[in-house]
Amino acid sequence: MKRKNQLNLLIISCTIILLGLFSIQYYLVRNTYELISQTYITNIKKEISPVIDSPEMDSIESQVVDELKILCLNRVKDSITVKEFHSKINKIAERGREKSQSYLKSQFKDYPLLKEIKIRIQVEQILFETNNIYDTLLKSTDKPIIILGETSNGKAFQISSGITQSSIEREKDSINAEINYFYKHHQSTCIDISNFQSKIWEKMKWILIAAVILILFVIFLFFWMYRSLIKQKKIAELKTDFANNISHELKTPVSSLSLAIKSLKIEEINQNPQKLKELIAALERQSNRIQSLTEKVLESSDEYKIQLQKMDIILFLKGIISDFKSDRHTLKSELEPTNLFLNTDYYLLERVLQNLLENAQKYSPNASEIKLKSHIYNSEFIVEISDNGMGISPKEQGKIFDKFYRIPEGNRHNIKGLGLGLFLSKNIMESLGGSITVNSKLGKGSTFILKIPII
Ligand code: ADP
């Protein structure tokens, strides 16, 4: 399978695993919320049950219920109208609420928890049975009648429910048949806890924090794994590129060498001093080329040993300029100041300048001009090498100093190289306490700037 497909598969699997983990976490957090809520309500119920089940509350409740029974009986017997029934039922409930509230308030001292919760006992359905004929005086779908405690709009939890029923009256009708009146109602006790949700979230604080940390940790792990995979992929690509580049680089000098050796064996050439001289020069050039390539590769994995010496840097630059030989380019220079003595490693500096001049030639068209300028700025000696070549896009400018990096686009790979020159130059400049930067515009040319501290 191709690396790109492997990466896509990895991303998809990680996303599925993450989604699965999210769902499990969500399910666990939800269940914990339910469990903690139930335990909390059960504990509250236990704490306030002495008040709710107290003889005082029982007596208020039975008074209200007795009044309700009578009222319902009157309604069933049609002694009162529906309107009267409703207004009286509300009055009975109001009286019950008032009495129970003043009792509950009197208990605040012993049960401070009562201040935070609102208790209510409500009747949810009233039925009346007269000789097996049912009258529904309050439907279960109607608004319940709160007979004790407080009315509240908040979410209430039912903590108990039950049925109250009793035979109210027996009487004989006109033909002496017995009429039996039977009363029945459903009621429930509810509590409304203020700030219920925030109290539960507060209790779950550490569970939530742990869940979030766990998820973040897994996301970080996936991200880290993905990044190291990408890194390894890049390294693998660089290694392949490097192998290709080095064989490409060695091909010409090695084949030129073998050609020169073959020619040396030919008697006719061997006897011709002029030809012999040319062949030896070619052999020397190619062996120098191979030597410089080997040096570059070796240096890329070596530490530099810096040997400082005080020298006139302007004189040194003039030497580099006069050594510059090219049939394809001209080198112009503007050197300032006229002389300057710097304590630096001139051998390493020469390697950097050679790399930059070589690149300026490689990456600019024939007959174009290369410039070498120098001046002092902010206690630093600045050397600039400019060309009018293909230039480097801003995106690539940060990468060209990486080991083995070569810009992949365009026809640059027709130009030989190992992607080591700038990497080495950067390392050298940093070990000399200076720096190397680039200023470039795609298609216009590049300027490499060396800064050397003047100490
Ligand atoms: P190389 O051996 O490939 O030249 P370098 O490390 O010297 O390696 O340069 C890295 C890459 O930076 C090159 O492959 C090239 O794409 C780009 N580069 C370097 N110098 C120049 C320049 N003067 N103009 C345009 N591109 C350049």
Q: What is the pLDDT of residue 89?
A: 93
DSSP lists the bridge partners of residue 254 as none
Q: What is the pLDDT of residue 411?
A: 52
Please check whether residue 296 is in contact with residue 421, taking contact to mean a CB–CB distance below 8 angstroms: yes
Asked whether residue 80 carries a pLDDT value surpassing 80, the answer given is yes
Q: What's the CA-to-centroid distance between 356 and ligand 1, angstroms?
A: 9
Report residues whose beta carbon is within 6 angstroms of any ligand 1 atom: 355, 359-360, 362-363, 387, 389-390, 392, 400, 405-407, 412, 417-423, 446
Contacts of residue 168, Cβ cutoff 8 Å, sequence gap at least 6 = 69, 70, 73, 181, 182, 183
Per residue in 200-242, pLDDT (tens digit) is 999 999 999 999 999 999 999 999 998 998 888 888 887 887 8
Please give the residue that has the higher pLDDT: either 371 or 193. Answer: 371
Asked whether residue 151 carries a pLDDT value surpassing 90, the answer given is no
Q: How far apart are CA 51 and CA 294, in angstroms?
A: 94
Q: What's the CA-to-centroid distance between 397 and ligand 1, angstroms?
A: 10
DSSP 144: P
Q: How far apart are CA 255 and CA 403, in angstroms?
A: 27
Please give the residue that has the higher pLDDT: either 421 or 300. Answer: 421
Q: Which of 90-94, 103-107, 193-197, 379-383 has the lowest mean pLDDT?
A: 193-197
Residue in the structure block whose two tokens are 């029945």: 184
Residue nearest to atom 25 of ligand 1 (CA): 391
Q: What is the pLDDT of residue 265?
A: 86
Q: What's the CA-to-centroid distance between 400 and ligand 1, angstroms?
A: 7
Nearest-atom index, ligand 1, CA of 355: 7
Asked whether residue 447 carries a pLDDT value surpassing 80, the answer given is yes
In the predicted model, what is the mean pLDDT of residues 268-291? 87
Q: Which of 158, 126, 159, 156 is nearest to 140 (CA)?
A: 126
Which residue type occupies 239? K
Q: pTM of the prediction?
A: 0.56
pLDDT-derived band at 302, boundaries 50, 70, 90: low
Per residue in 108-123, pLDDT (tens digit) is 999 988 888 999 999 9
Residue in the structure block whose two tokens are 């002495």: 50
139-145 long-range contacts, CB within 8 A, separation 24+ = 140/186, 144/188, 145/89, 145/90, 145/93
Nearest-atom index, ligand 1, CA of 422: 6
Residue nearest to atom 19 of ligand 1 (CA): 359
In the predicted model, what is the mean pLDDT of residues 364-371? 93
Q: What is the pLDDT of residue 241?
A: 78
- The two three-digit tokens of residue 216, written as one number: 């973040």
Q: Which of 444, 423, 206, 191 is nearest to 297 (CA)?
A: 423
* pLDDT more than 70, % of the chain: 97
Per residue in 24-33, pLDDT (tens digit) is 999 999 999 9
Residue nearest to atom 16 of ligand 1 (CA): 407
In the predicted model, what is the mean pLDDT of residues 38-67? 93
Per residue in 172-209, pLDDT (tens digit) is 777 777 888 899 999 999 999 888 889 999 999 999 99
Q: What's the CA-to-centroid distance between 375 and ligand 1, angstroms?
A: 25
Residue nearest to atom 21 of ligand 1 (CA): 359
- Per the prediction, the chain carries an average pLDDT of 89
Nearest-atom index, ligand 1, CA of 445: 24
Asked whether residue 399 carries a pLDDT value surpassing 90, the answer given is yes
